[in-house]
């Protein structure tokens, strides 16, 4: 292929380009197509813009949220319907966060283990037609003690058992 059909960014013979910001002479691959600022400078500018315009950007996001509220809610609802086990996992995590019951030393593996329990629960429910819940063995907000949102404190229950259990956990000698 003759050199004159290569884009300049791929052409080793192309003369370097001067960045309009840092003034450094750089290879064409350091620039996005048609830009005069190098990629590095452009990135620094973006970071600076974001931190200098926090209030403005927050308002834009809030306005956009209000404008698209109905659509967003509908989309989220549909997603939850299509991803039941992920939705249950997320809801439990949100609840646990709110109650500050998620230990900060949990690892990625711990979160994967928890997601797996929600997946199994959904699978059992699908296979048997019996409604299942993933529940905390020691409730996050118990009467006597409060449990953590972590793999060792999760169990899969029939929904009916879960509802009758409610939030009362009687301490068993030897555990607490």
19 or 92: CB nearest Zn ion: 19
Q: Does 38 bind Zn ion (CB under 5 A)?
A: yes
Eight-state DSSP code of residue 171 = P
Count of residues interacting with Zn ion (CB under 5 A): 5
Query: Cβ distance 145 to 137 under 8 Å?
Result: no
How many helices (H) and strands (E) would you count in the chain? 6, 4
Q: Does 17 bind Zn ion (CB under 5 A)?
A: no
41 or 117: CB nearest Zn ion: 41
21 or 86: CB nearest Zn ion: 21
Binding test (CB under 5 A) with Zn ion, winner from 3, 7, 10, 22: 22
How many whole angstroms separate alpha carbon 113 and alpha carbon 120? 11
Query: Cβ distance 143 to 169 under 8 Å?
Result: yes
Instruction: Candidates 1-9, 32-40, 142-150, 163-171: pick the segment binding Zn ion (CB under 5 A).
Output: 32-40
């Amino acid at each position: 292929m003759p050199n004159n059909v290569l884009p300049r960014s791929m052409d080793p013979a192309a003369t370097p380009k001067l960045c309009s910001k840092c003034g450094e002479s750089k290879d064409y691959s350091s620039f996005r197509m048609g830009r005069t600022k190098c990629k590095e400078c452009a990135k620094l500018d973006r970071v600076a813009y974001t931190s200098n315009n926090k209030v403005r950007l927050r308002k834009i996001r809030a306005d956009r949220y209000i404008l698209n509220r109905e659509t967003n809610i509908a989309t989220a609802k549909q997603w939850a319907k299509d991803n039941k086990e992920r939705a249950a996992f997320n809801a439990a995590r949100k609840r646990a966060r709110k109650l500050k019951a998620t230990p900060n030393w949990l690892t990625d593996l711990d979160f994967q283990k928890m997601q797996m329990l929600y997946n199994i629960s959904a699978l059992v429910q699908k296979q048997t037609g019996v409604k299942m819940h993933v529940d905390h063995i020691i409730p996050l907000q118990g009467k006597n003690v409060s449990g953590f949102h972590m793999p060792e404190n999760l169990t899969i229950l029939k929904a009916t058992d879960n509802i009758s259990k409610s939030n009362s956990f009687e301490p068993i000698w030897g555990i607490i």
